[in-house]
Structure 1
């Protein structure tokens, strides 16, 4: 497997690289919904276009990592399926939707994974888990009332991709998430328990954001990920990774 990128997800994917020698994974580019820079979006688009064209020439399968968050699906009352019409509500979401179209039209064999909020070791400070932990350790944490996040273990992302590629799944868009969006307060409280800290909370009221995504396709294709929606999944993820920060 050729892995383009050097972030924490790219590092975990390296553990299965030798199993998929004809696959290229794009694990680089804009990773934050806060980005507003046209230059950063252009750089990622150029990278995706060039990589997709090369994969088409060489007959390599291209895996593109997109998003299953609110930025792509918006607020959903029922779990959003991969074939539903998407409603990106931000520059980031529209950018990822555009890149998906680039990949699908490239002529290369392709697989698009729409990821929720991936949690794992070595994440950048702006990402969800390290950012909340930093705030809690500072003694004050900001809690966005009305916000929800679907967290998934990076190990489950790797397991899902390995399973999909091992059975030759291509030309598919697949949600890779736990399927359960948790309130921000629940996530913060869980982290506090694992840190044994009780910081002051600063509450910020925001418009309710609840994005439920369906993982039925993922479960049907990779039964090994059946435990993603277990009641204790969030706690198990926090127990594994909070101590690393």
Structure 2
């Protein structure tokens, strides 16, 4: 596998570098669901177009990483599925869906993976868990009321990718997530307890439950059953994550401050 990129996901994929020689993994581009410019979107589209063109010429498969998060499936009725039309609810989700369509139209062999929220050491600050830790240290956490997020250990993602690529799939889209959405308030409470921090909630009326279907993933990769997805899985990976967090020097805030 040739890996394009040098960020969190690209580094996590390095154990697969000696496997799947027919694959180019495009682990570069936009990974920030908010605050991203049209110029950033355009650069990723150009990179994907150029990489797909080269893969088509070389007869190689392009592994592309999309999103299964709220931006893609937030308006779905029931669990978000790969085999039904979706209406993205953010600019980021619309951008990723547009890139999926660009890749399908390119003629290159490909596999599109819609990812849940990855968890692991060395994540960039803008991703979900590092962002929540920063807010905890600042003393106030902004939470969409009723929001839930699907967390998955990046090491499990890499193991699943290895098995999916081994199937020789030449096209298609697969959700790679745990299939179980954890309330964001529970995520915050576990981070708060694990890190020994106190902070207030500031609730915003823009959230909603969100579940990702992994029915297709389970059918393709029976190994998924061994990962024990569910509430216990989330508690374990959150505990693992908190052990990797470097203690901060910020003062803890009063737990009652600013609660709405």
TM-score range, shorter chain: over 0.9
Q: Is the 8 A contact 2:145 2:208 kept in 1?
A: no
Secondary structure at 1:204 match in 2: strand
Residues in 2 aligned to 1:214 and 1:150: alpha-carbon distance in whole angstroms = 11
Q: Which runs of 5+ in 2 are unaligned?
A: 246-260
In 1, distance between residues paired with 2:133 and 2:240? Answer: 14
SS at match of 1:203: strand
User: What residue in structure 1 maps to residue 256 of structure 2?
Assistant: none
Whole-angstrom CA distance in 2 between matches of 1:143 and 1:101: 32
Counterpart in 2 of 1:15? 15
Q: Is the 8 A contact 2:60 2:109 kept in 1?
A: yes
Q: Is the 8 A contact 2:180 2:230 kept in 1?
A: no
- Please say if residues 144 and 207 of structure 2, whose CA atoms lie closer than 8 Å, have aligned partners that are also in contact: no
- 2:248 alignment counterpart: none
TM-score scaled by structure 2?
Answer: 0.89
Shift of 1:141: 2.8
Deviation string, structure 1 residues 127-169 (Cα, Å, up to 9, x no partner) = 1111111222333333332221111110111011100011212
More strand by share: 1
Quote the residue 2:208 is aligned against. 209
- Aligned positions of 1:84-99 closer than 5 A: 84-99=84-99
Q: Which residue of 2 aligns with 1:119?
A: 119
1:156 is aligned to 156
Q: TM-score, normalised by structure 1?
A: 0.95
For the pair 1:107 / 2:86, whether they are aligned, the reply is no
- How many matched pairs? 244
Distance 1:3 1:228 in 2: 29
Gaps of 5+ in 1: none
Q: Give the 5 Å matches for 1:174-189.
A: 174-189=174-189
Give matches, 1:194-233, under 5 Å.
Answer: 194-197=194-197, 199-226=198-225, 227-233=227-233
- Which residue of structure 1 lines up, in the alignment, with residue 5 of structure 2? 5
Give the Cα separation in 2 of the matches to 1:228 and 1:151: 13
Does the CA-based 8 Å contact 2:7-2:28 persist in structure 1? yes
* Per-residue deviation, 1:228: 4.9
8 Å Cα contact 2:144-2:206 kept in structure 1 = no
Asked whether 1:65 is paired with 2:65, we answer yes
1:18 alignment partner, SS class: coil
Distance 1:184 1:231 in 2: 13
Is contact 2:45-2:99 (8 Å) kept? yes
Q: Distance in 1 between matches of 2:217 and 2:203?
A: 34
Deviation of 1:241 after TM superposition, in Å, equals: 1.5
Q: CA RMSD in A?
A: 1.4
Please list, as runs of the form range in 1=range in 2, the aligned pairs for 1:165-176 lying within 5 A after superposition: 165-176=165-176
